[in-house]
């Protein structure tokens, strides 16, 4: 056997072996850096911000224990974050088991912390003792300073590893903990730029959840690192320095009642009084606030030990069950629902409901480290019991409010029946017709949803162009006639009565609303392609409102996209460029030695075969394609010296003004086009914005427009 073959055989045999040598033992914080997603969910923007939440939650737990009245979160230059509280401070004494400082133990050892001891923290969001150590592991640098018993103790770390032992560096009159960290770009490859609005929104919510806790948020990223270091030399709380930087302060005495009032401040409420109750059942402290508004959607926000549970959990289940039972009992007792009438269902009573449910308990159980869903069964019975008793008293003591709540539910029941009848009618008709696809739909040849995409375009003109410019194998086109129905506040029966909406529902596949089945989706890319003008933006907003209210799984699953057709076509001799923004055009013109204001911009179509315009011909050179960033193409000659051929600029106002080749090349070609994926970063903020823009509250919409007018990109 040849030596090369012998070596290859040995290598193959070794790779097939699975023995003790294959077992890796990750020590210290190595598991966190190896698999960060297990601890923070994702290494994208959500995971990045999760680092702040973990450190903040430790300070907030101090407040819940009654040892802290003030917390400050500051965004610093160069990607650093600083979290300060005036609690007792992390213990710095020697830990009996690890034989090093308790501070070092907490920051460098997984599953080490004070939350396991119910005497130290009666209620806490931290269960596994991994929060601070995970942040430390995923940070390039971390520094902790503890002000305690008149002394300042400090320890610094690099990627979770200590630089030196904890040491005393000075004296102090303050008490509390300062944690300063910089996320590691090796972990967070998408960047470490924190979203100010996201941080403010999260901490505002927390201020509602802990009564009489002052929370300050400071954006000091405008300073240089040296300036910031000088400011921090003697600063415990940065806000006390009275710096001229963006900052927000939150302090609420009303708790969840104040939070519900905040949610509803732009809404038309059904009843005046906000229900609020706080009651302890066994070892579970239950706090609930609710109010009904004139809407068809619901908002139930849940917390467990002040940790936001985006997926709800057992406490929400207990609340819903008790809500339905209590209102039905009251309604029948007071003859608001007559014998023989249908009882109100949970769906009926969810319409227009805005509620916040919060529980605090020991030995709490979440489903996963990110704590998005509460799993403690004890919370279900406690929430149901506490809410039933207090809400029954509220209804008896506020008969006018109670009557309005029941009437709201009865209206929802009647509407639900009408909507169900309309939906059943549409489904029956569709079944009889074999679910015939809309006549205007130009479907693709492929039957594989994962490779198929549909372009929703504005009008027959754009539809005809798109049909000619598409890849028939994988791309379908559905033209819509004008503006579809504004479905905000529209019920399903009215929705399905619209031919345009019905065509869209049938074309996409999977049904609608609560019967929507994403596995029956006919296309895995649903692309909205409208004109780059005010009407196009309005149509796009109407379609997005439809998707958000009735097809939210499509947005959450990443199936919805917005096409980015070019705004300009520039022809210079035989060279053609497409530009997608005014700034791109300006930069190109400046680079080529032209003043964009001195060149006529028309809406006339430019033929690729036009004669060269005045100013002389291009210098000879080899043909080629100028490469730009993805989504841009340029045809023409390269090499040699370019002449001063005056460019001809065409401004596209609509997709119908483009020919099939132009639309296909710039907007539909998967190798050149630019698509924007529609995502939901903050569901509460998204719902509120859609309500303001598409709802019936004109004053709220006017205020929104006036407030954000300077941000608008107006095509004059």
Nearest CA to 334 out of 415, 404, 411, 386 is that of 404
533 catalytically annotated: yes
Catalytic residue among 62, 348, 531, 584: 531
What angle is formed at CA 277 by the lines to CA 271 and CA 281, rounded to 5 degrees? Answer: 145
Contact 644, 634 (CB under 8 A): no
Annotated catalytic residue 535? yes
Distance CA 645, CA 629 (A): 24
C-alpha neighbours within 13 Å on the C-beta side of residue 588: 22
d(CA 664, CA 459): 17
- Write the CB contacts of 59 (distance below 8 Å, at least 6 apart in sequence): 68, 71, 83, 84, 85, 87, 177
Instruction: Please count the CA atoms within 13 angstroms of the CA of 476 that sit on its side-chain side.
Output: 26
Instruction: List the catalytic residue out of 294, 535, 612, 682.
Output: 535
Name the DSSP letter for residue 274.
Answer: P
Identify the three-state secondary structure at position 621: coil
Helix (H, G, I), strand (E, B) or coil at 187: coil
Cα 396 from Cα 386, distance rounded (Å): 16
| Active-site entry in 295, 453, 458, 493 | 458
Question: Closest Cα partner for 392 from 330, 316, 319?
Answer: 330
Sheet containing 623-625, strands listed edge to edge, beginning at the edge strand earlier in sequence: 601-602, 648-651, 568-572, 575-579, 634-637, 623-625
Cα dist from 449 to 138, 505, 568, whole Å: 38, 16, 33
Say if strands 634-637 and 575-579 run parallel, antiparallel, or are unpaired: antiparallel
Q: Name the H helices within 74-195.
A: 102-108, 131-137
Q: Please tell me the distance from the alpha carbon of residue 626 to that of residue 631, in angstroms, as a whole number.
A: 12
Catalytic member of 174, 294, 533, 626: 533
3-state secondary structure of 175: coil
Active site residue 16: no
Catalytic (active site) residue 618 = no
Q: Which residues are catalytic?
A: 458, 531, 533, 535
């Amino acid at each position: 056997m040849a030596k090369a073959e012998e070596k290859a055989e040995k290598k193959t045999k070794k790779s097939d072996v699975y023995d003790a040598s294959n077992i890796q033992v990750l020590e210290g914080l190595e598991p966190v850096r190896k698999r960060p997603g297990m601890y923070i969910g994702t290494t994208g923007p959500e995971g990045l911000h999760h680092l702040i939440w973990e450190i903040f939650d430790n300070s907030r737990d101090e407040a819940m224990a009654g040892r802290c009245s003030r917390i400050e979160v500051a965004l610093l230059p160069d990607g650093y974050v600083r979290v300060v509280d005036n609690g007792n401070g992390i213990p710095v004494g020697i830990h009996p088991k690890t034989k090093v400082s308790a501070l070092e133990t907490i920051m460098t050892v997984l599953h080490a912390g004070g939350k396991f001891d119910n005497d130290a923290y009666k209620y806490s969001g931290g269960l596994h003792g991994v929060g601070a150590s995970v942040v430390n592991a995923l940070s390039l640098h971390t520094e902790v300073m503890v002000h305690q018993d008149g002394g300042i103790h400090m320890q610094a770390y690099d990627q979770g590893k200590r630089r030196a032992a904890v040491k005393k560096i000075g004296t102090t009159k303050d008490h509390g903990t300062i944690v300063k960290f910089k996320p590691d770009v090796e972990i967070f490859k998408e960047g470490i730029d924190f979203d100010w609005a996201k941080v403010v929104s999260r901490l505002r919510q927390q201020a509602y959840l802990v009564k009489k806790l002052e929370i300050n948020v400071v954006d000091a990223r405008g300073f240089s690192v040296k300036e910031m270091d000088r400011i921090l030399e003697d600063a415990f709380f940065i806000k006390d320095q009275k710096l001229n930087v963006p900052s927000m302060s939150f302090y609420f005495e009303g708790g969840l009642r104040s939070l519900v009032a905040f949610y509803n401040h732009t809404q038309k409420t059904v009843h005046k009084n906000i229900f609020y109750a706080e009651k302890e059942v066994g070892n579970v402290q239950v706090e609930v606030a609710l109010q009904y508004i004139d809407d068809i959607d619901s908002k139930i926000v849940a917390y467990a030990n002040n940790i936001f549970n985006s997926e709800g959990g057992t406490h929400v289940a207990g609340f819903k069950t008790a809500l339905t039972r209590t209102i039905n009992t009251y309604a029948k007792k007071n003859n608001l629902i007559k014998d023989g009438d249908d009882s109100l269902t949970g769906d009926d009573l969810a319409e227009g409901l805005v509620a916040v449910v919060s529980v605090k308990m020991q030995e709490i159980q979440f489903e996963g480290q990110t704590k998005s869903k509460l799993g403690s069964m004890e919370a279900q019975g406690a929430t149901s019991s506490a809410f039933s008793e207090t809400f029954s008293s509220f209804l008896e003591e506020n008969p006018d409010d109670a009557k309005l709540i029941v009437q709201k539910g009865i209206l929802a029941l009647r509407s639900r029946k009408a909507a169900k009848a309309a939906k059943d009618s549409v489904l029956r008709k569709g079944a009889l017709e074999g679910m015939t696809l809309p006549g205007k739909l130009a479907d693709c040849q492929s039957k594989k949803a994962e490779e198929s995409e549909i372009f929703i375009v504005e009008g027959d003109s754009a539809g005809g162009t798109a049909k000619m410019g598409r890849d028939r194998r994988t791309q379908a086109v559905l033209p819509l006639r004008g503006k579809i129905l504004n479905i905000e506040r529209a019920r399903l029966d009215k929705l399905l009565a619209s031919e345009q909406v019905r065509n869209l529902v049938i074309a996409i596949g999977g049904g609608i609303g609560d019967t929507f089945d994403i596995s029956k989706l006919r296309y895995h890319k649903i692309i909205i392609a409208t004109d780059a003008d005010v009407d196009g933006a309005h149509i796009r907003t109407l379609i997005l409102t439809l998707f958000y209210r009735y097809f939210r799984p499509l947005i959450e699953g990443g199936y919805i996209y917005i096409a980015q057709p070019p705004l300009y076509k520039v022809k210079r001799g035989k060279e053609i460029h497409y530009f997608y923004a005014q700034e791109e055009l300006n930069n190109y013109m400046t680079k080529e030695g032209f003043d964009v204001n001195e060149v006529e911009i028309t809406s006339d179509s430019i033929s690729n075969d036009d004669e060269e315009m005045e100013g002389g011909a291009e210098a000879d050179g080899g043909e080629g394609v100028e490469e730009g960033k993805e989504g841009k193409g340029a045809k023409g000659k390269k090499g040699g010296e370019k002449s001063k051929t005056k460019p001809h600029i065409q401004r596209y106002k609509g997709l119908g003004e483009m020919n099939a080749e132009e639309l296909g090349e710039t907007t539909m070609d998967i190798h050149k086009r630019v698509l924007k994926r529609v995502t939901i970063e903050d569901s509460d903020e998204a719902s509120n914005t859609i309500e303001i823009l598409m709802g019936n509250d004109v004053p709220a919409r006017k205020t929104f427009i006036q407030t954000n007018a300077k941000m608008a990109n107006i095509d004059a």
